[in-house]
């Protein structure tokens, strides 16, 4: 319908209905939707009436819905996180063009998402839905530095919902979930809130000042790494911190310098999974605790040796003459 309006000076409702193969009621609904998007469609009543675009108004060749625009903004944000310096000017240009073709209200929300959201490059898992229900409202609050009230459901075995007043410093995606990171006035401390547990968001008439240089992803990674779990792990990694960071997921644990190279402190639930993680490292390590991790690693080594030996015997038999 938009293409028809751009290519014709004026069309009647009947002509639009015929061209789009819909009834006149649908035409009126589509026209109203275009007007809501900020498209200057004029309606003239009477015998010679019809629909037309405001004279002198040049529309871009493409229009996006709210969700499409936010999805594109998220893609631009993710591309910027890749750190490809050669394409940064192109990304800025693409974002500016996207803002220009969006209605004013959506332009604001677009800037909120781009500035308040943090993504981790190279993440293997992605959310089932790119945009969660409360992501736009929380990104707006973070950028405006406006306090919000969250109706938040705990992650306990018997979940409890309670109201939290929060100063949201930013949002981040990590380990398959979106998080809002900020100061919780109920707990009087920094907290991370999973967005799939947020039941409602309400803006409050209070503002805050975000700490200068606050790193949302760094705080979230540390918070996830230090959550109490079944086993406390301490390892000495025989490599430098830069190499260790290149091979370890940030949420696996906390790295710190040590005489051997660096130390890893972690909280884990699955010792077998940790043993498989260690087996994939290109550097050696010393296990300080727990002893059960040594046993899990030895068990893994024995299984791999057995598999290798069995594979060798099978290959030898297949080469032997009948």
Tens digit of pLDDT for each residue in 74-115? 777 666 665 555 566 666 777 776 776 677 767 777 777 767
Task: Taking residues 258-280, report their average pLDDT.
Answer: 92
Mean pLDDT of all residues belonging to the chain: 82
Closest by CA to 27, choosing from 13, 41, 37, 38, is: 13
| C-alpha span between 322 and 317 (Å, rounded) | 10
Report pLDDT for 280: 93
Copy the structure tokens of residue 237: 């990694």
| C-alpha span between 293 and 130 (Å, rounded) | 37
Query: Does residue 246 register a pLDDT over 60?
Result: yes
The larger pLDDT score, comparing residue 175 to residue 180, is at: 180
| C-alpha span between 224 and 316 (Å, rounded) | 48
- Hey, what domains does the chain have and what are their CATH numbers? 2-53 (1.10.10.10), 67-219 (no CATH), 226-305 (no CATH)
Please report the beta strands in the chain, taking only residues with DSSP state E, as ranges in sequence order: 41-44, 50-53, 117-118, 146-153, 161-174, 177-184, 189-194, 198-207, 231-237, 254-258, 261-268, 285-289
Percent of the chain with pLDDT over 90: 36
Each residue of 183-215: pLDDT tens digit?
A: 999 999 999 999 989 999 999 999 999 999 999
Query: Does residue 150 register a pLDDT over 70?
Result: yes
Task: Taking residues 239-243, report their average pLDDT.
Answer: 93
Report pLDDT for 203: 94
Percent of the chain with pLDDT over 70: 79
pTM strictly above 0.85: no
Each residue of 14-62: pLDDT tens digit?
A: 888 888 888 888 888 888 888 887 788 888 887 777 888 877 665 555 5
């Amino acid at each position: 319908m938009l293409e028809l309006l751009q290519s014709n000076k004026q069309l009647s409702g009947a002509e639009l209905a015929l061209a789009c193969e819909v009834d006149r009621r649908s035409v009126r609904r589509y026209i109203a939707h275009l007007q809501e998007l900020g498209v200057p469609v004029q309606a003239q009543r009477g015998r010679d009436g019809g629909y037309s675009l405001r004279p002198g108004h040049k529309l871009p060749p493409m229009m996006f819905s709210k969700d499409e625009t936010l999805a594109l903004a998220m893609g631009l944000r993710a591309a910027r996180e890749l750190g490809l310096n050669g394409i940064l000017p192109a990304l800025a240009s693409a974002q500016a063009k996207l803002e220009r073709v969006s209605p004013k209200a959506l332009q604001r929300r677009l800037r909120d998402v781009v500035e308040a959201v943090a993504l981790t490059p190279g993440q293997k898992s992605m959310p089932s839905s790119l945009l969660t229900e409360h992501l736009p409202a929380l990104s707006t609050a973070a950028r405006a530095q406006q306090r919000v009230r969250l109706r938040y459901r705990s992650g306990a075995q018997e979940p409890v919902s309670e109201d939290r007043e929060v100063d949201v410093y930013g949002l981040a995606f990590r380990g398959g979930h979106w998080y809002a990171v900020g100061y919780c006035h109920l707990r009087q401390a920094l907290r991370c809130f999973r967005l799939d547990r947020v039941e409602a968001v309400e803006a409050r008439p209070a503002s805050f000042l975000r700490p200068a240089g606050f790193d949302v992803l760094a705080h979230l990674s540390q918070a996830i790494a230090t959550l109490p779990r079944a086993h406390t792990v301490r390892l000495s990694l025989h490599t430098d911190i830069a190499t260790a960071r290149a091979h370890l997921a940030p949420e696996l644990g906390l790295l710190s310098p040590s005489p051997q190279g660096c130390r890893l402190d972690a909280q884990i639930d699955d010792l077998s999974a940790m043993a498989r993680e260690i087996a994939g490292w290109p550097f050696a390590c010393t296990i300080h605790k727990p002893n059960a991790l040594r046993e899990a690693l030895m068990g893994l080594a024995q299984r791999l040796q057995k598999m290798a030996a069995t594979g060798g015997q099978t290959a030898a038999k297949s080469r032997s003459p009948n």
